[in-house]
Amino acid sequence: MCFPLEIGGGNGFTGLLTGCKLNIPCVDADLMGRAYPTHHQTIPVVVSDKPVYSPTVMSNGLTTSIYAITQNDFYVEKMLRASLAEIGCTVGVVNAPIKGKDMDEWSIHNSLSLAWRIGRAVNISRQNIEIDKLPENIIASFGGPECGKLIFEGKIIGVKRKLFKGHVYGEVIIEDLQDKSKIMKIPFKNENILASVYDLNKFKDRELSNIGDDDLGEVVCSVPDLITVNDADTGEAIGTPEYRYGLIVFVLALSPDKKWIASEKALKIGGPKAFGLDNLEYKPIGVHKKPVSVIEEYGVK
* Other Cβ atoms closer than 10 A to 136: 14
Provide mean pLDDT across the span 121-128.
98
Nearest to 86 by CA among 164, 166, 11, 162: 166
CA 168 remoteness from chain centre: 14
pLDDT in tens, 92-108: 888 888 888 999 999 99
Q: Report the alpha-carbon distance of residue 183 to residue 3 in Å, rounded.
A: 39
Provide mean pLDDT across the span 41-47.
96
pLDDT in tens, 140-179: 999 999 999 999 999 999 999 998 777 889 999 999 999 9
- Write out the DSSP string of 230-258: EETTT--B--GGG--TT-EEEEEEEPPPG
**What pTM, to 2 d.p., does this model score?**
0.92
pLDDT at 92: 86
214: left (phi over 0), alpha (psi -120 to 50) or beta: alpha
Q: Is pLDDT above 90 for 116?
A: yes
pLDDT at 205: 67
φ and ψ at residue 161, rounded to 5 degrees: -145, 145
Q: Average pLDDT, whole number, for the chain?
A: 92
Q: Judging by DSSP bridges, how do beta strands 226-231 and 248-254 pair with one another?
A: antiparallel
* Other Cβ atoms closer than 10 A to 301: 4
